[in-house]
Chains A and B, each alone.
Chain A
């Protein structure tokens, strides 16, 4: 095995160029840290297995009386709406009695809650998207070495359903189509890490060299626009730099990854629609593709939306979609809650269980993909019927490389919901003394779940 230090004196471009002057040759670039250590907990080089951060979103919360476990700590109970989690409970932490604070801002229906949980800041108006979302922050810490820093997918068929943004004008559009997602991840540009040998592509090198010219053109355009537009061009420039980085990756033999295997393209997308069965079908296809994208190290951060905040999921034959149901369905006098609205919540929890389970099924090292992942699930409200953002429920799942404990129900005691996100940020090494603003600002991790 060639050691990295020996190659340090030669630039990669110089090496590859030399090899490409003539016929294309297959070369074996250093495998670096492709092998796991004896314990299977890290690469042979000592580098830890990659950590992944994943978010999951469902709209319209749940009915507290059948959603919030009675028991806190380990071995919590599963109320009716959480029953679908029974198969993955040991991987899941439930967070209740945490609050999203609006302070002097209005309670923007089905909006304030999710924005606070994802950005730490209460929005002032419906078009306001303050700060950046937590996936973007964490991707900056762990995602920049993978092909896609962060990916947003949605199971409701609407690319506008996004819970990921860099700023108010830079939203990561969601990918609703499994077919498109497959092409994006495993289509052109995908490098199979387990492919035999490695042939650096002269075409990729040529395409990369073009980017330097495009970078120059960006500088030229910056001279004729104002300050705000220069900032937009800077952002575009950052994107170009990231493309350069991706080309560099394509010119490097990827590390073999035992768990990564070829994914068959989806036969076809589910039919258009938002009835719960179709949403579930779409959700599962997208989940399976994204799980393999993580395994094959195409990305280390992604976001899944099961529904929009104003979830319009349909129960076939019932005239009201989920959101309208939460407002208009009578409370069943016997059950004590809205039974159809609860049906929608249970369907969402079934999909969350599928989601978590998909991670737990993939072997990675001596554990599973879920062991090296932290899934953070949030919603927009506690009791959607009255747009309550007090007691807004959240979940996490996975051990994040052994940094998290699982199978715990945490009662937040009315503290800031942002503590859960802040805990995630600290787990992933984000250098932040605090997160959030005003009452949502916190520097207090949820210590109960930290290993």
Chain B
């Protein structure tokens, strides 16, 4: 508070107590001093919207993800440092792998992997090829310890890896380890590597633990300390640890006042690292981890290979970044826009020509290719290896984009009607009619198939087809009461569906705060949804609103005897593997 001009505080905050970082009013508006805001669509100062007064999150201890670890180290040591490690994936929770990070444990096997990774990284950093530019000081002799040089290297690196300065005792301990190691090995750089390995696998590096300070004005609530707030911001927006400038902002107390946080957030939104963070978020939300193991039958889809899969993911992410971050368009337009990018491998699927590399591509008016639902990453991922799947596609629309839950298939399904080897059922619609006529199956298939059948003009690899086994395809359907004639109609219905933006808000909030959303978050999510709509459904504005909200920096204190993170987790959406691969 002390960083805010007294008159501003007095004028704007007279009716509330303890304004920052929590809010005591439903909506707190602080008009900031003019600042160059890179994000959003307006050049004028943006008000800080704090959100519902009692919104907060549990204090969490997240296990760092493989991507976050690598991103962070890449920023610290540069892109030439490579590691072939494989951290165990988190359990998808409330629609996001990232939300599983706050409950993920470390098995012995995972611990071994952390160590292997740390060892490899440390050896690379001090290798003769890299030490000249990564270890800026020069030891008196390579063959013995040099305490000062070790300190000069290890403490700044430790600060970045731990995301806060090392206290004196720890700093001395880390340097002492390096000195001991150098003496035992007769190698300064060997000692440095040993100490660095310890830092890289330390719990402070691998776990992102929220550290809080009590808020005497609000019993039951606490505030993230500046470094925890910096970490939360950084993993949210960049999917990486804070950079030096962000840590300096925390050290200087700039994150203890709303102006300082707003300035920092705007810098982060303008950083090239934002693209990395946004890509990671959509990678998670759209379950692109499934693409890593996607396979098609080459006998049935001979043009669909590993390159197609990689390019399909890249196409969608490029399109997202271009439309949401570069052009700052309405999120919903992703589902109707004809603008995308093509690579040669995708051009084969699209049946158009494309030069090497990536090329901006606008599908012609009237083309069936319009919007994200017509991209290969969606069509092929939610299909079988050798054919399409209206059920999987319908399920994906509901669960990934609308945050709805489709029940698991029942165990006692009667498939006898499908057993006629000489079936006259040529199209998926005819086959699925069997399910929808069966009371046991109908409950779920009525949720998925009227949506999924709209995709039937695209086969399991995402190629357009006018007919299936010689029969015309009827791609009409209905989404929650909205009838449509084809996939373009479904895309428009998804665009207009109120849960489309609400789902994005829910996922962004879970991503931002590192855990599953709770029923108690509903007022906050509703408020964010309103703000998102008011801002024209622009993603940078949503990110900014979340980052500057009171809830983002406020922690609900645990009941005595409970863990900070003990609030009951929302029931996770069914996982793909658990949900079953249905017809």
Contact = CB atoms under 8 A, between A and B. Distances in A.
Interface of A: 20, 106-111, 125-127, 148-152, 156-160, 165-173, 175, 180, 183-184, 188-189, 202-203, 205-207, 209-211, 213-214, 216-218, 220-221, 224-230, 232-233, 235-236, 238-240, 242-243, 246, 271-275, 308-310, 312, 314, 316-321, 323-324, 327-328, 330-331, 385-387
Interface in B272-327: 289, 292-293, 295, 297-300, 306
Interface stretch (B49-57, B202-210, B229-237, B500-508): B202-210
A213 to B, nearest CB: 6
Interface of B: 59, 61, 63, 84, 86-89, 91, 100, 103-112, 114-116, 119-120, 170, 173-174, 177, 180-181, 184-185, 190-191, 194-195, 197-198, 201-204, 206-207, 209, 211, 289, 292-293, 295, 297-300, 306, 384-387, 408-409, 411-413, 415, 418-421, 558, 561-566, 571-572, 574-575, 577-581, 583
Given A169-B105, A180-B84, A308-B577, A318 B413 contact: no
Contacts of A184: 116
A208 B571 CA distance: 42
Given A148-B109, A209-B177, A228-B563, A314 B386 contact: yes
B105 A170 contact: yes
A150 B107 CA distance: 10
Nearest to A333: B421
B209 A328 contact: no
Given A229-B564, A232-B61, A321-B384, A169 B108 contact: no
A210 B195 contact: yes
Nearest to A219: B203
Given A206-B191, A210-B195, A235-B107, 20 more contacts: A20-B184, A109-B408, A125-B571, A126-B578, A170-B107, A173-B86, A202-B185, A206-B181, A214-B198, A214-B202, A220-B170, A225-B209, A232-B207, A233-B203, A235-B105, A272-B295, A275-B298, A314-B385, A318-B297, A385-B415
Contact of A211 (B107, B198, B203, B415): B198
Contact of A232 (B105, B174, B180, B562): B105
A228 B108 CA distance: 18
A338 to B, nearest CB: 9
Contact of A235 (B106, B184, B408, B579): B106
Contacts of A242: 108, 111-112
18 contacts: A109-B408, A109-B411, A170-B106, A172-B110, A189-B116, A207-B197, A213-B174, A221-B204, A227-B563, A232-B103, A239-B114, A246-B112, A273-B295, A317-B297, A319-B387, A323-B581, A330-B418, A386-B412
Nearest to B187: A203
A221 B210 CA distance: 11
Contact of A314 (B116, B295, B579): B295
A236 B111 contact: yes
B312 to A, nearest CB: 14
Across the A-B interface, the 4 shortest Cβ-Cβ residue pairs: A226-B563, A239-B111, A170-B105, A319-B386
Contacts of B174: 213
A85 B408 CA distance: 35
A283 B206 CA distance: 33
A447 to B, nearest CB: 32
Given A110-B580, A170-B106, A205 B184 contact: yes
A328 B421 CA distance: 10
A203 B185 contact: yes
Given A20-B184, A236-B106, A274-B385, A207 B563 contact: no
Contacts of A274: 293, 295, 385
Given A126-B574, A207-B197, A235-B105, A310 B173 contact: no
Given A126-B574, A171-B91, A221 B411 contact: no
A210 B197 contact: yes
A227 B59 CA distance: 12
A230 B207 CA distance: 12
A316 B298 CA distance: 8
Between B197, B203, B562, B581, the greatest number of chain A beta carbons within 10 A of the residue's beta carbon is seen for B203
A327 B583 contact: yes
Contact of B387 (A125, A213, A320): A320
B384 A224 contact: no
Contacts of B202: 214, 217
Contacts of B195: 210
A175 B299 CA distance: 27
Contacts of B104: 169-170, 232
Contact of B566 (A20, A226, A273): A226
Given A127-B575, A170-B106, A211-B198, A225 B91 contact: no
The majority secondary structure among interface residues of chain A is: mixed
Given A167-B105, A206-B180, A228-B563, A320 B384 contact: yes
A231 to B, nearest CB: 8
A188 B121 CA distance: 13
A251 to B, nearest CB: 13
A318 B385 CA distance: 9
Contacts of B574: 126
B297 A331 contact: no
Given A272-B306, A319-B300, A324-B384, A387 B197 contact: no
A171 B558 CA distance: 27
A171 B107 contact: yes
Between A160, A188, A275, the greatest number of chain B beta carbons within 10 A of the residue's beta carbon is seen for A160
A226 B108 contact: no
Contacts of B566: 226-228
B180 A209 contact: yes
A209 B293 CA distance: 40
Contacts of B211: 224
Nearest to A210: B198
Between A210, A220, A271, the greatest number of chain B beta carbons within 10 A of the residue's beta carbon is seen for A210
A183 B83 CA distance: 13
Contact of A226 (B107, B298, B413, B562): B562
B150 to A, nearest CB: 13
A83 to B, nearest CB: 25
B411 A240 contact: no
Contacts of B306: 271-272
A331 B202 CA distance: 57
Contacts of A229: 61, 209, 563-565
A226 B184 contact: no
Contacts of A217: 170, 202-204
Given A171-B107, A203-B190, A217-B202, A109 B419 contact: no
Contacts of B289: 160
A42 B469 CA distance: 66
Contacts of B185: 202-203, 206
A361 B256 CA distance: 68
B194 A108 contact: no
Contacts of B108: 149-150, 238-239, 242
Given A310-B580, A321-B384, A172 B116 contact: no
A243 B112 contact: yes
A272 B63 CA distance: 29
A220 B209 CA distance: 12
A126 B408 contact: yes
B497 to A, nearest CB: 26
A20 B581 CA distance: 60
Contacts of A148: 109, 112
Contacts of A203: 185, 190, 194
Contacts of B581: 310, 312, 321, 323-324
B14 to A, nearest CB: 36
Given A172-B107, A188-B116, A317 B300 contact: yes
A109 B580 contact: yes
Contact of A320 (B119, B386, B575): B386
Given A166-B107, A310-B580, A327-B583, A173 B88 contact: yes
B88 A172 contact: yes
A240 B206 CA distance: 13
B142 to A, nearest CB: 16
